[in-house]
Structure 1
Amino acid sequence: MINSLEGRFFQAFIALLEEKSFSRAGERLGYVQSTVTTHIQQLEKICGQKLFHRFPRGVEPTEAGKVFSKYAYQYVHLSESLKESMNDMNQPCGTINIRLQESFFLTRMLPFVQEYTRNFPSVNLRVEQGAHQDILKSVLDYALDFGIVPQNPERHDILFYPIMEETIVFVASEDLVRKVESVGAQILNDEVFISNGTSCLYHTTAVDVLKNEGIVVKDALELSSLEMIKELVCCGKGFALVPKIAIKNELKMGRLKILPFTSKISFTHGLIVHKNRERSFTAESFQSELLKYFKEY
């Protein structure tokens, strides 16, 4: 098999996996669509397995494709590491793939990204948004160089580097908080809980805390954007669990209030990387710069 595999096949596979479209994968690689199709067909012939389901709306990996993706990412990563090492032994260059929650990026990570980009212009820092379990899975599948998650996964195959403790609070509009203070927290049984979704660690933590307060989440609304969550809560359309720093301005302006729960909630965000991932000089440098930045934060 190894004599038949070519690097461009792996690049076409990853582009199609991420873009979910032959035409978009071709645009990304600078190929015509038929070239991507040919590369995938050749891969499937070499592997003896169908790697993608073709649907009218796009493509999705088969079970064989999901298995193959792990090795495709490792191949491309190794190739990039080799290129970096040969091009320049002392200057970071190439691509770093990192995924984290939107709230952490907006409130903590953005200044670091701006500073790092200025200091290391030869590094393509590819930052993506994701939920806790999604980030962990992608690191385990070698699809990412790094992830930032709000809690130590405590896995033997994951290295966790703590970077910051974050205070999380329940928030609601001033009117709803006033009702809770006068009537009691039980009225929240009839309110909508707004979160990033059931796969989000904030959501599962909130459900547990509310349960201890005698509140059952009956109606939940899933939104991908922190800003949308805050605006809906400000309008009195429900309540949410968010990082305290993310609502600093809203608290100051009186648009949001912290719900009076006795439980203090905090998470320790940290950088995660696969224990067996071979880190390039650029990846090692990035990790060092990030940990140094948050140590001085």
Structure 2
Amino acid sequence: MIDVIDSLEGRFFQAFIALLEEKSFSRAADRLGYVQSTVTTHIQQLEKICGQKLFHRFPRGGELTEAGKIFSKYAYQYIHLSQSIKESMSELDQQCGTIHIRTQESFFLTRMLPFMQEYMKNFPRVNLRIEEGTHQDILNGVLDYALDFGIVPQNPKRHDILFYPILEETIVFAASENIARQVESSGVQILNDELFISSGTSCLYHTTAIDVLKNAGILVKDALELSSLEMIKQIVSCGKGFALLPEIAIHNELKTGRLEPLPFSSKMSFSHGLIVHKNRELSFTAKSFQTELLHYFNRYLS
């Protein structure tokens, strides 16, 4: 095998990441300001250096091989290190650059948005790249070094992940007034005949709901998966099924009677927290962002 350290160049990593994220040689070339043949050449050189095929070539682009998936972790670490060096050397006393963070949609809309507005006002030179994902999506992104931070509804309890608790979130089963009245008069067993609506089986809310319902003797026979919190609220409020949602996310609907909480005896909650890879070397800007976020939620809760 060719000596990897002596042969690797930063542009090869950039081409790899661009192709991984764009899934198209032409779009990767546009993103980097190259002609398409340059990206192709860089990927071929990288594969020669690694001694492995990193992408499956298809007419419409490329997808990672197993070797490519392994290499992607190191590629993201290289890009992150390059950015950290640039920030640290050029502007030690100023916050600038890009921070990649992923969170659940419901948490972003109800908790994160006010912090973002305040943070961007105070630090206009920092580019916050915020993505939406499920608990597992967020954890995977941090483990693969694709993200600086994630916000998850539960401590992953992994040796390679640092977890900083920020907020205890109450969650409730909710339905339309009509379904809630039926449950009140006939018991929760009537939910056996109702549609359960969630963000999908990979969502922690979904798996928690299934466990709670099972313990109450309710078997979910029919479920509808929707990626949008707003869609879930609208469909449930129309009388089409029930869902498990953060209480704050349906505050207005509960207040106006469009949605009603269902009478499950035990209080349910998640301990949301910020996660970061234990081995990730945070840039000056990322460390400052972490401090600002934890301080904001500490102030928010006090």
Q: Deviations over 1:65-113 (max 9, x none)?
A: 0000000000001000000011111111111110010000000000111
In structure 2, the partner of 1:276 is 279
Q: In the TM superposition, what are the counterparts of 1:62-101 in structure 2 within 5 Å? A: 62-101=65-104
Q: Distance in 1 between matches of 2:73 and 2:183?
A: 49
Check if 1:106 corresponds to 2:109: yes
Distance 2:188 2:66 in 1: 46
Aligned residues: 297
Match of residue 116 from structure 1: 119
TM-score computed with the length of structure 2 as normaliser: 0.95
**Structure 1 gap ranges (5+):** none
Asked if 1:129 is matched to 2:125, the reply is: no
**CA-CA distance at 1:56 after TM superposition:** 4.1
1:3 aligned counterpart, secondary structure: helix
Offset at 1:54? 2.4
CA positional deviation for 1:57: 4.9
2: distance between equivalents of 1:15 and 1:139? 19
> Structure 2 CA distance, aligned partners of 1:139 and 1:85?
22
Counterpart code for 1:140: L
Task: Tell which deviates more after alignment, 114-123 or 80-89.
Answer: 114-123
Distance 1:210 1:56 in 2: 46
Paired letter, 2:117 = Q
SS in 2 for 1:262: coil
RMSD: 1.1
* Shift in Å, 1:32: 2.8
Question: For residues 32 and 213 of structure 1, what CA distance do their matches in structure 2 show?
Answer: 60
Aligned with residue 61 of structure 1, among 60, 64, 68: 64
Rounded Cα–Cα distance in structure 2 between residues aligned with 1:268 and 1:255: 27
What corresponds to 2:208 in structure 1?
205
Distance between the aligned counterparts of 1:109 and 1:27, measured in 2? 32
Identity of aligned residues (%): 80
Alpha-carbon distance in 2 for matches of 1:33, 1:63:
24
- SS at the partner of 1:89? coil
Q: What displacement does 1:186 show?
A: 1.1
Corresponding residue number in structure 1 for 2:258: 255
Work out the CA distance in 1 between the residues paired with 2:196 and 2:207: 12
Asked if structure 2 preserves the Cα contact closer than 8 Å seen for 1:186 and 1:215, the reply is yes
**Contact persistence 1:93–1:123 (CA under 8 A):** yes
1:293 aligns with 2:281: no
Question: Aligned partners of 2:37, 2:262: CA distance in 1, in Å?
Answer: 57
CA–CA separation in structure 2 for the residues paired with 1:160 and 1:206? 24
Moved beyond 6 Å, runs of 4+: none
1:42 aligns with 2:45: yes
Aligned mates of 1:47, 1:195 — CA distance in 2:
43
- For the pair 1:22 / 2:25, whether they are aligned, the reply is yes
TM-score by length of 1: 0.97
Q: Find the aligned partners of 1:179 and 1:160 in 2 and give their Cα distance.
A: 41
- Specify the code of the residue in structure 2 equivalent to 1:293: Y
Partners of 1:102 and 1:130 within 8 A in 2: yes
